[in-house]
Amino acid sequence: MSHSTYKSTTYLHPRYYRNFITWIFGHLLRHKYLFFVGFLLMFLGTALSIIIPLILQFYFDEAIKSDFELILSTSLLFISLYIFNFLASALGSWVNAWFSEEVVKDVQNEFFESMHSKSMSFHDSARTGELLAMATSDSRQLSWMLLSILMFGLAFATTIGSLLAMYSLDPTLFFVFLLFVPFIALAIVLYGKNLGPVSIRRQALFAQWQATLQENLAGIRALRTLSNRQSEFDKYDSDLQAVREILIERGILSARYYSTLIIYFAMGILFILGSYFVYTGDMTVGTVIAFNSLVLLLQTPNQFIRFTIFLGSMGFAGGNRVYSVIAEQQLLEEGDHPVRKLRGKIQFKDVSFRYNSEGPDVLQNINLTIAPGQTVAIIGHTGCGKTTLQKLIHRLYDPTTGKILIDDVDIKDYPIEELRRQIGVIEQDIFLFSASIKENILFGSKNGEDDLTQSMIEVAKSAQIHSFVSKLPKGYDTVIGERGITLSGGQRQRLAIARAFIMNPPILIMDDSTSAIDAYTEAKIQSAIGNLLESRTTLIVTHRLSVLRKADVVILMNGGEIQDIGTHTKLYARNTEYAEMFRQFEDLPPIPDDVLIPEEAV
């Protein structure tokens, strides 16, 4: 029975994916001990901060009127409390930073796994720059949100503790201060209400700006070729201007945190009122100093709340974007059927496929059986579905209807990674990593490196890349540029062929993989390929006559359907459309013997 890849590789139990809050709570619980240790240390620091004003009252009302020994002992107590307060707060900050970074790392890992688990339909519509922004900027903002949760808890504890201490010192001043509390609360609520939507817009604009930047960097050659720099600069400048404006707007809103002003105003009123009570003899100096110290202490939770709203709202917006992508169920299903050495039998049963729900069918009612070890060539006009057909086999996409079987087992019942390890793919659009030639050839191979060194050289020779690599100063350790930009098109294709061969897969898919290679080199590669294709199932998307003649079966596709199946000779004889593809070459003059490739060279 198949199940979701996402659920099988996720960090959390599925019940935590109900919404963003439960999801982040699930990640928090994974590191609950760090969370509670950090909170307790910070709470201890807060408790010491509340005790200090009470010691201050004793100092001014009792100790200063007594002997020097009591003054000294009280002063030493002050110093000790401040030192313990500093140590508890510093250690708590370190543990909290550790906690938040652990959660962010988990989220980034989960996001990365989620990207690999989703079908290509998701990636077809997603902008790479926005996904990069989510994986970096948005997920990093989560650390601020997690710290803001801790800060909010400390702010609540500090506020309650301070109010209780204030009431114990003098109920009259306490109730006077309560008159200012509704105004402080209203200022905080308005601040959060105005800042939240701006933070969400900020994250979206940042992602759009990064997506524009990424697309321009990735397409820098095309932009220079098309001389379209000015329009792209205008687009980039527009995105940057929007980011600038939202940051200014956010800065203005941040400056309007009026609760700080209200607390200072309340402190001034209470100081005047307390001084009057001291003048009338109804209150001691120590009580006035201690009470106002507690009011001043309330600035700490007040700033904690500001921190929570300012950075927490940004973390909430960024984290919610990350969660929405992780939770989006465009995932490929997989089962747990063991994948041993595949024989290579492939069956399509009533397979139809469309890239999106509103688009047309790219493949329609495909029924096909490929025997183990057969070499099958697929031919057809552009857009007929031949490349899509092979993409379904190694599960970049799943059929819209119907099913595909390999060795009589639905491919959805195989674990995806294990299935793909037994299917070698050489695509026309080659992707190479910015790493050494050796690392690119060995990419995906699971054998030990010692076993692969000789094999790598052998497949490199077969792919006609060894002589070129041997002439490089660093040989196979030469680092190629991003996407292999320092290599020619033919060199990239030959490197991709070597990478597929070293996997020694029982099923091989080649999508016009020699299109960028000259005829002489292709002839030598085809000779090597001929030996490597023995006893393995091979699908080749091609229009090359030499390949079609050697194929066991040729599939002619038209409009997303299989129009005809047979050998090249039979199709050429009975199918007019197939014959027309090659008849234009019949009237060409013969090639002189002196320019033909000698058979011994092949």
pLDDT tens digits, residue range 378-410? 888 888 888 888 888 888 888 889 999 998 889
- What is the span of the domain harbouring residue 10? 3-327
> What does each C-alpha distance from 514 to 3, 521, 526, 541 come to in angstroms?
38, 9, 9, 10
Comparison of pLDDT for 602 and 555, the residue scoring more = 555
Q: How many whole angstroms from its chain centre is CA 511?
A: 29
Query: Would you state the pLDDT for residue 315?
Result: 74
Same domain, 114 and 230: yes
Average pLDDT of the chain?
Answer: 78
At residue 7, does pLDDT exceed 60?
no
Buried b / exposed e along 7-17 (16+ C-beta atoms within 10 A): eeebebeeebb
- Output the domain CATH number for residue 217: 1.20.1560.10
Residue 66 in domain? yes
Helix/strand/coil for 220: helix
Domain boundary among the residues 296, 327, 358 is at 327
pLDDT classification of 519: cutoffs 50, 70, 90: low
Residue 333 in domain? no
pLDDT tens digits, residue range 171-222? 888 898 889 889 988 888 888 777 777 777 777 777 777 777 766 766 665 5
Same domain, 367 and 283: no
Same domain, 413 and 301: no
H or E segment and range at residue 480: none
Query: Would you state the pLDDT for residue 242?
Result: 82
The CA distance from 572 to 320, in Å, is 58
How many other CB atoms are found less than 10 A from the CB of residue 219?
14
Query: Would you state the pLDDT for residue 541?
Result: 86
pLDDT classification of 568: cutoffs 50, 70, 90: confident
The CA distance from 119 to 332, in Å, is 6
Residues whose CB falls within 8 Å of the CB of residue 137, separated by 6 or more in sequence, listed in order: 203, 206, 207, 210, 318
The CA distance from 107 to 98, in Å, is 14
Domain count, the chain: 3
Single-letter residue type at 147: L
Single-letter residue type at 327: A
Same domain, 130 and 249: yes
- Output the domain CATH number for residue 388: 3.40.50.300
pLDDT tens digits, residue range 471-507? 888 888 888 766 666 777 777 777 888 887 787 788 8
Domain boundary among the residues 445, 476, 498 is at 498
Q: Is the four-CA dihedral 128, 130, 132, 135 of positive or negative sign?
A: negative
The CA distance from 414 to 384, in Å, is 28
Query: Would you state the pLDDT for residue 18?
Result: 79
Q: What is the mean pLDDT of residues 209-238?
A: 66
Same domain, 519 and 381: yes
Residue 332 in domain? no
Residue 275 in domain? yes
Query: Would you state the pLDDT for residue 536?
Result: 83
Query: Would you state the pLDDT for residue 124?
Result: 64
The CA distance from 424 to 443, in Å, is 12
Q: What is the mean pLDDT of residues 516-527?
A: 60
Query: Would you state the pLDDT for residue 513?
Result: 57
Query: Would you state the pLDDT for residue 482?
Result: 65
Same domain, 509 and 494: no
% of the chain with per-residue pLDDT over 70: 82
Domain boundary among the residues 273, 305, 327 is at 327
What are the phi and psi torsion angles at 581 (to 5°)? -65, -25
Angle, alpha carbons 371-375-381 (nearest 5°): 110
H or E segment and range at residue 235: helix 229-255
0.85 cut: is pTM over it? Answer: no
For tokens 């050796």, the residue is 438
Same domain, 342 and 480: no
Same domain, 417 and 492: no
Which tokens is 235 given? Answer: 């687009």
For tokens 């993409």, the residue is 391
Residues whose CB falls within 8 Å of the CB of residue 545, separated by 6 or more in sequence, listed in order: 568, 582, 585
* Among 50, 57, 263, 59, CA closest to 164: 50
